[in-house]
Chains A and B, each alone.
Chain A
Amino acid sequence: MIDDVSFTVESGQFFAVVGPNGSGKTTLLRTILGVAQPRRGKVQVTGRLGYAPQRKSLDPIFPFTSREVVSHGLFNTKADELSAQGRIQRTEDALESCGVLGLADRPFRDLSGGQKQRVLIARALVTRPETLVLDEPTNDLDVRGEHDVMTLVDGLHQSGTTVIMVSHQLHVLARHATHIAFIQDRRHLLGERDEMLTPERLEALYGVSVDLGTGRPMAPPA
């Protein structure tokens, strides 16, 4: 739970939410998405949100293809808004924009971590949202997977999509985020990336010195 949260994410920002485990990052994200309701106050969202969850939350027992996973994003789009042919086209466009059209008919569970994450981003994009909400998209990815996913997210951001992203990976945020919110002890602190990602602030947040190049704790002096 977090107290007295009040901030505005402007259109076109790459807004990152950072904090230790259990600090309330996911609760904040769920509140933004409208899944959880704040006890007081309100969340005002302009335009559509597209949400890409952590890929680990999806059970691999379901034999969905990537195309089927992406089409889930159009689930609540009514037939009079989008024809059957339009749905197919929209799904393929989303897959293509994330560079995974070639994987459309492959089982989602058989994809690599990076490919899965890109398919989930395609699902979030299929409704053509103004804002993309990402929950730890690069966790447990190898270097190539992380690069591919963040290149995609960065490209979307560059083309005008607002990005809100929860992540532990400070080295990723250091390269891509424009604004960062720290959440700790039921409080939050936010500002532009360079004023937030200072050694002092990070040490205060995590209680250890952090190497921004790797996002890991500083090695103790030899």
Chain B
Amino acid sequence: MMKLTEALSTLEGFGWSYVATILMAGVVSYLGMFTVLRRIVFTGVALAQVAAAGVGAAFFVADHPRVSPALARFAATHGATVGSFLLTLLAAFGVRIRPSRERAGGDAIVGLIYVMSAAAAVLLVWRSTRGLAELREILAGEVLLASGGELALLCVALLVVASIHAVNRKHFLLVAYDSEFARTLGIPVGRTDLLFLATFATAVAFALRAGGLLLVFAYLVIPALIGLSLGRRLGEATVVGVASALGASLFGYLLAIVENLPVAQSIALVMVAIYLIAQPIRLSKPLMAIARWGLVASGAASLALVLWFAPGLVQGTEWSGDETVEETHEADEHMHTAADLLARARGHLRGDGSVQERVAAVRTLGALGGEEELTDLLGAMADDEFLIVEAAKHALSRYARRPYGRGQILAKATGDDPELATHAARALAMNGDPDGFDLLMNALGRDDTPVFLKEQVISELRTVTGQSFGFEAFGDDDANAAALEKWRTWLEQNRR
């Protein structure tokens, strides 16, 4: 098992991702206290699902043939963030408009919004390989793979939310506790509630893009339950709840690194464990006091690590995820650790580790790897395990969006190895790259492309274009050549 010091060094390698997670833990778990106190937990889940639908809507617009190129470009680059934010905001305001209790309860409307957005999220991206991978990522969540842009936006959005709450906390609390009394004091209850919901929707929408549905929901609910279990007053419950989220994030990260597990699920389960342990502790006041201090200390430790990492991060260390990992300028010691991590991941992927270990290895290679690891990622596209192929697709999709990433994949796609070249072409096509489609067509036309690969390519091209023109892996050469020509023409006409 990896030693704690090694784990901490590795954690430093995921510096920005860790900082964003800690910020998310602090702000979302703070909002979670309101969620639990106002009894709007289900609203939180529904809003998170709406945010996922917003991402789906962005991919739908980006891939729709009738959308103008400018709008499609905007949707492809910023649409997921803008779409999820706007839709979540709209839904947050929508849940305030409720029919009378006689006709339907408020929770029924929230349920309607949940079902509608859950279904829409999948249907909107159904024909988009890229969109499906992104949606799956959101639903499962993996903060380690969040892109630099997502983490930067998350930090800005959460700081704005935190500032609004710092100014309006008392208003939000009084309106939630006793809105009628708040009205008699002259507080604009409707506007205050809308502002609260806007901050709630903002935090959920941005956190969801970076951390995934599970982590956001876990932060919304469990820390508040821990705080309310161990805190004697609201202020104390809030501090203990937020501290438990911070501490659980640190321990969840370390657990994930040491055991090579997904981060979001590890953090969520650490929080659940704290909650379960807190229940018998509630029976003893001295133990409750010890638990409170313990959680506050763990929260302080997680914040201290942020401060510890800060100098390195500020001096040019970069966001984990897409664009900057390969341009790392960290100290030699850290480089050694990152290299170790990559070597370990390669070992897991090539060896006979469990599917989970190999999926985690693909994610690590995708987040930290460079050109050398690209071959491993492309090789993983041919794995027998569906989950590993999906993880590789996702990692490659993100790799293609790095600076130089596309060029490196393109070089592999035009290389001599037909299998590697085909996988590289698939990776480009998944990102809607026109060269990727051309290269896939070439792969179909090559005699040395293995038949099983041709079948995969046909299936993917059919998914993306909705056409096949009768091309068959075992088909007649002349018929296939004609079908290929039709396919090229179709792509040419429908390409943006």
- Our verdict on whether A and B bind, yes or no, reads yes
Point out residues on A near B: beta carbons under 8 Å: 30, 33-35, 49, 51, 53, 57-59, 61-65, 68, 72-73, 75-76, 107, 123
Q: Say yes or no: is B187 at the interface (Cβ < 8 Å to chain A).
A: yes
**Across the A-B interface, how many residue pairs have beta carbons closer than 8 Å?**
57
Q: Say yes or no: is B232 at the interface (Cβ < 8 Å to chain A).
A: yes
B233 and A65: CB pair below 8 A?
Answer: yes
How distant is the Cα of A49 from the Cα of B184 in the complex, in angstroms? 9
User: Which of B71-79, B175-183, B335-343 touches A?
Assistant: B175-183
0/1 string, B184-217, CB within 8 A of A gives 1: 1111000000000000000000000000000000
B180 and A72: CB pair below 8 A?
Answer: no
Q: Can you list 27 A-B contacts (CB < 8 A)? A: A30-B180, A33-B184, A34-B183, A34-B184, A35-B183, A59-B39, A59-B177, A61-B36, A61-B37, A61-B39, A61-B228, A62-B176, A63-B228, A63-B232, A63-B234, A63-B237, A64-B177, A64-B233, A65-B233, A72-B174, A72-B181, A75-B174, A76-B185, A76-B186, A107-B232, A107-B233, A123-B181
0/1 string, B148-183, CB within 8 A of A gives 1: 000000000000000000000010001011101111
A62 and B187: CB pair below 8 A?
Answer: no
How distant is the Cα of A57 from the Cα of B184 in the complex, in angstroms? 15
**Minimum Cβ distance to chain B for residue A136 (Å):** 13
**Minimum Cβ distance to chain B for residue A53 (Å):** 6
Q: Say yes or no: is B405 at the interface (Cβ < 8 Å to chain A).
A: no
A59 and B37: CB pair below 8 A?
Answer: yes
Residues of A within 8 A of B180 (CB): 30, 35, 53, 57
Which of chain B's residues 214-252 have a Cβ closer than 8 Å to chain A?
A: 228, 231-234, 237
| Given A33-B184, A64-B234; A58-B178 close (CB under 8 Å) | yes
B181 and A51: CB pair below 8 A?
Answer: yes
How distant is the Cα of A197 from the Cα of B140 in the complex, in angstroms? 68
Per DSSP, chain B at the interface is helix
How distant is the Cα of A68 from the Cα of B177 in the complex, in angstroms? 12
Point out residues on B near A: beta carbons under 8 Å: 36-37, 39, 170, 174, 176-178, 180-187, 228, 231-234, 237
**Minimum Cβ distance to chain B for residue A126 (Å):** 11
Residues of B within 8 A of A107 (CB): 232-233
Residues of B within 8 A of A76 (CB): 185-187
Residue from B177, B181, B185, B234 with most neighbouring chain A CB atoms (10 Å): B181
B185 and A75: CB pair below 8 A?
Answer: yes
* Interchain residue pairs A-B with the least CB separation, the first 4: A35-B183, A76-B185, A51-B184, A33-B184
**Minimum Cβ distance to chain A for residue B34 (Å):** 11
B233 and A72: CB pair below 8 A?
Answer: no
Residues of B within 8 A of A57 (CB): 178, 180
**Minimum Cβ distance to chain A for residue B118 (Å):** 28
Residues of A within 8 A of B187 (CB): 75-76
Shortest Cβ distance from B182 into A: residue: A75
B234 and A62: CB pair below 8 A?
Answer: yes
Residues of B within 8 A of A51 (CB): 181, 184
**Minimum Cβ distance to chain A for residue B255 (Å):** 31
